[in-house]
Amino acid sequence: MKTKLSSSTGWRPPCLHWLVRPHPKLNLLTRGTPALLLALVLPALAVASAAHAAPLPLTPRLVARPLTPGDITKYALPTGTETSPGISNVAIGTPLYLEVQINSAIPASNILSVTWSLTNLPLGSAAYLTNSPLGANIPIYGPSDQLVYQQVSRKVLRPDITGSPLLAENYTVVASITTSGYGNTNVSYTFSAGYYVGVETCTLCHSGGEIASNMVPSWQSTAHAGIFTQGINGALGSYSQSCLQCHTVGYDTNAVSAVDQGFYAVSQQLGWTFPTVLTNTNFPYMQAHYPQLANLANIQCENCHGPGSQHAYSLGNTNLIAVTQETGDCNQCHDAPSHHIYGTEWYASSHAVTTRIPSGTGRDYCVGCHTSTGFLNRLASGAPTTVPPADTTYNPIGCQTCHEPHGLTVPTNNPHLIRILSSVTMPDGTVVTNAGEGALCLQCHHNRNGSVTNIIATYPLGLPDWAGGSSFGPHDGPQGDMFEGVNAVTYGLAIPSSAHKNSVTNSCVGCHMQPLASSDPGLYLAGGHTWEMSYLSTNNGATNKVEEMGACAQCHGPITSFDFPIADNNGVVQGVQTQTQQLLNQLSTLLPNSSGVIDGLVKTSLSVKTNWTTQQLQAAYNWEFVSSDGSLGVHNFPYASGILKASIGNLTGDANGDGLPDAWQIEYFGTNFATNPNAAPNASAAGDGIPNWLKYALGLNPLVAGMNVPGGVVWVNGSTINGNSSTNTVQIYTAAEIAFNTQIGTTYQIQGVSSLSGGWQNIGSPIAGTGTAISYLTPSRHNVQQYFRVMHNP
């Protein structure tokens, strides 16, 4: 998270949620957040709290918690514990795991009581609430919810009858919360119950025409529609009866659920048994002899939407069917290690913990990328961003965000049901046609503030540079622009780009969704639907970051770190990420601080003002572009390093960083000076032994031979002082100045070497860091050439 200015007068408030509650995997409390910002914001919060003494909001809610196979295994729940999708339409006899949640910041000791009641039941129902089998060790379901909620009470309810569909009879549960200091309130949850009817009934309405969309025919082309058929026909190889819990409609073996008319109940009624031999005649035989059962085979509408009887017999009352974007619906099957792990991986992803700050009232333009609902509404509208009035309800980026489960609007050659595989138009107008499955990623992972040209032109004027207003920089997620090598300030130069965009199949997906072996310690923590390229590992009390290099090694060979060595344009071999960070640091020293002063210090964030010069704004944009990309050059090192070097050159007049102004070199050596060996600082273009850097310092033409300068001569307006006198005591010697920033608690050692093939030697004694820049001079008159470096500990 980087904080930017929305105007020249102050900070745009950061995501305070992240300031006070770190991400469970990354220390976002300090990651990318200036220490100064923390110092300014946190005391302000404390003052506000003291001044108003407003109690924390209770933010209570009553929800149905999904329970997945992964939960049952991980928390060692009893054999026979039934899973639940956590939706508002369930089969009669099946459990609904209910829980009351409140603000996690409220002390549990202040919750005095939670009283449960059933306030509405279908006529004739005898259903009742019982204690939940979910213990305190089982957390709230959603990773993002775990950051802001705590559960304070749990119950289970099994509906026993459906009620009248014409009267739309539902069940309503109420929980009354009594607290000390935070008020008292009631929360409720309403749901419907029915029995399964199978796809034939759904087909009556959902096969096109004017009543409903073409969902069933589209679904028939998906893998869900044929998974059971292929399994018992032997097309999947290994297949067993245990697969039927997910591969059929309503496979609930609990005795009280025998009235749900699902696959298991009907199979018991008809006497069907699982075939002992898997062969291609099994499903045709079922269709011929058990058509009622075949109607409930495969993964169908009711697996996700709940039983359809009430919805169908009420002629489509949408209050009697469930439609959700919550991942629990998918994870009732896809969180089932070790074979079905897509949902298990998702828990570890950053998508699962997308911050709530860009949702809610007033965030209409933000939810188009920051919430699942907002993103899908944006895609449906065809607009580049959501516009008011938008649904700003929070939900994380989950399964249905990226995958269209019915197979609607996706091409037939798209087995993963990814919502978009077509070309993508980037904010600067570049059309990307070869992103493959990563095309969907580029819908959000780009410069969401538009083209850099527009930002540089409009931001100083305070004019809107994106749909929601005026702000500076690429807005945190420009990975697509970086990967494609577009939408940065290039100063008219031809900045090279890496081969990644043409060589990595499916772009983002090709690396970030790399499969991991079942024996890899990073399984479920990196790769796949985690989208992570690394994970944190704790061993003997020490926590280390482990980088998964499998995807990289396919092309780069046996590298062991993302910071793999590569030569820069000066021939120095360093890690890709090391070089990129050094360039970021160097560029930041040339930009103003929050007070508008160019202090020469390294900065970890920029406070960009509207009164900065165009040169400063251009350089600041490139700095934020590379920094926000987050890969430190891995996505596209030539482009990242190229635009940073170009920015440094534009601010210093020395684009190639050789210490001589470009304008001076162009004047004497032409526009191709960078490739002309005679233009190098240490070259003697006139052949007189005087290097170009000295000719520049003395204001001489480097192409005109000048006199040899002996030791003991001082130049004054072209004449000499005591040039032939043996009594002359004035000497001019060369020295090297090594300047570097320091930190308190760190020790620095300067080292030198005359040839890069030699061994480095310490120069002087170790220097203790002071927290400021240090300048050190060392004689160099006896050296033809000398290289220096500064080592630090720690």
**Comparing C-alpha atoms, which of 337, 396, 347, 332 is closest to residue 95?**
332
Burial class (CB in 10 A: 0-12, 13-18, 19+), 202: buried
Specify the pLDDT at position 527. 98
Contact 146, 23 (CB under 8 A): no
Give the residue-averaged pLDDT of 38-55.
39
Q: Is residue 60's pLDDT more than 60?
A: yes
Residues comprising the chain, all counted: 794
Which tens digit of pLDDT belongs to each residue from 746-785?
999 999 888 777 788 888 889 999 888 888 888 877 777 8
**Comparing C-alpha atoms, which of 257, 330, 261 is closest to residue 296?**
261
Q: What angle do helix axes 614-629 and 576-589 make, rounded to 10 degrees?
A: 150
Q: Is residue 514's pLDDT more than 80?
A: yes
d(CA 623, CA 613): 15
Q: Is residue 131's pLDDT more than 70?
A: yes
Contact 529, 460 (CB under 8 A): no
**Comparing C-alpha atoms, which of 480, 504, 501, 513 is closest to residue 629?**
480
Burial class (CB in 10 A: 0-12, 13-18, 19+), 634: buried
**Comparing C-alpha atoms, which of 608, 636, 601 is closest to residue 623?**
608
In angstroms, the Cα distances linking 357 to 386, 396, 397, 781 are 16, 12, 14, 60
Q: Is residue 51's pLDDT more than 60?
A: no
Specify the pLDDT at position 299. 98
Contact 349, 530 (CB under 8 A): yes
d(CA 374, CA 280): 44
Q: Residue 408's pLDDT band (boundaries 50, 70, 90)?
A: confident
Question: Which residues, including other chains, have CB under 8 Å from residue 317's CB and lie 6 or more apart?
Answer: 165, 168, 310, 311
Most confident among 646-650, 652-656, 690-694 (mean pLDDT): 646-650
d(CA 614, CA 455): 11
Q: Which residue has the higher pLDDT, 130 or 468?
A: 130
How does DSSP classify residue 97? E
Give the residue-averaged pLDDT of 460-473.
89
The full set of domain ranges for the chain reads 1-50, 61-161+169-190, 199-306, 359-419, 675-720, 735-793
Contact 101, 86 (CB under 8 A): no
For all residues of the chain together, what is the average pLDDT?
88
Specify the pLDDT at position 54. 65
How does DSSP classify residue 518? T
Q: Residue 42's pLDDT band (boundaries 50, 70, 90)?
A: very low
**How far does CA 224 lie from the centroid of its chain?**
29
What are the phi and psi torsion angles at 719 (to 5°)?
-115, 175
Specify the pLDDT at position 383. 86
Specify the pLDDT at position 735. 80
Q: Which residue has the higher pLDDT, 57 or 567?
A: 57
Which tens digit of pLDDT belongs to each residue from 157-184?
999 999 999 898 999 999 999 999 999 9
Specify the pLDDT at position 47. 36
Contact 12, 19 (CB under 8 A): no
Specify the pLDDT at position 314. 95
d(CA 245, CA 333): 8
**How far does CA 208 lie from the centroid of its chain?**
38
Report percent pLDDT > 70 for the chain. 89
Per DSSP, what are the bridge partners of residue 535? 546
How does DSSP classify residue 22? -
Question: Which residues, including other chains, have CB under 8 Å from residue 471's CB and lie 6 or more apart?
Answer: 4, 5, 6, 12, 449, 459, 465
CATH topology of domain 61-161+169-190: Immunoglobulin-like (2.60.40)
**Range of weakest confidence among 258-262, 508-512, 717-721:** 717-721
Q: Residue 45's pLDDT band (boundaries 50, 70, 90)?
A: very low
Specify the pLDDT at position 784. 73
Specify the pLDDT at position 19. 27
Q: Which residue has the higher pLDDT, 74 or 724?
A: 74
d(CA 479, CA 432): 14
Q: Quick one: tokens of 194?
A: 């029915």
Specify the pLDDT at position 412. 64
Q: Is residue 310's pLDDT more than 50?
A: yes
DSSP-assigned states of every residue in 252-314: ---GGGTTS--HHHHHHHHT----SS--TTHHHHHHHH-HHHHTTBSS-HHHHH---HHHHHT
Specify the pLDDT at position 8. 33
